[in-house]
């Protein structure tokens, strides 16, 4: 169950980083809506991380949480923010995904 909470926390991390990116692109009330989304996702992400670390090793949980956030944020950047895509970016994303899965497999 705590792995599910950790994955959800990682997804909310993608939400808060993406919201921050959108807030930088907008002005007025739209900007404040994105900052509100940022705050909600940040609180949700941290809360889920805290709950997950009650039974999962802290180092593993943090690495998986940041890895999910990093991979997701890079993919969101490529898909929605039109960031550059290159062989090396994809290579290291795949390497990071492999590391996340490896940590899950070796954790008790």
Going by the DSSP 8-state scheme, the letter that residue 6 receives in this structure is H
Task: Tell me the angle at which helices 28-52 and 2-25 cross, rounded to the nearest 10 degrees.
Answer: 160
Extents of the domains making up the chain = 2-106
Residue range 14-50, pLDDT digits in tens? 999 999 989 999 999 999 999 999 999 999 999 999 9
Neighbour tally for 64: CB within 10 Å = 24
For 49-97, what is each residue's pLDDT tens digit? 999 999 999 999 999 999 999 999 999 999 988 899 999 999 999 999 9
Radius of gyration of the chain (CA): 15
* pLDDT class of 107 with cuts at 50, 70, 90: confident
| Nearest to 17, CA basis, from 50, 49, 32, 39 | 39
pTM, 2 dp: 0.87
What does the pLDDT read at residue 104? 86
Give the other-Cβ count within 10 Å of 68's Cβ.
23
């Amino acid at each position: 169950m705590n792995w599910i909470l950790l994955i959800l926390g990682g997804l909310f991390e993608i939400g808060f980083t993406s919201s921050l990116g959108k807030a930088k692109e907008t002005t007025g009330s739209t900007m404040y809506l994105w900052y509100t989304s940022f705050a909600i996702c940040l609180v949700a992400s941290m809360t889920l991380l805290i709950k997950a670390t009650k039974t999962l090793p802290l180092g593993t949980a943090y690495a998986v949480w940041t890895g999910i956030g990093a991979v997701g944020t890079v993919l969101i950047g490529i898909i929605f923010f039109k960031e550059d895509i290159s062989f090396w970016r994809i290579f290291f994303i795949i390497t990071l995904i492999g590391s996340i899965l490896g940590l899950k497999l070796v954790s008790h």
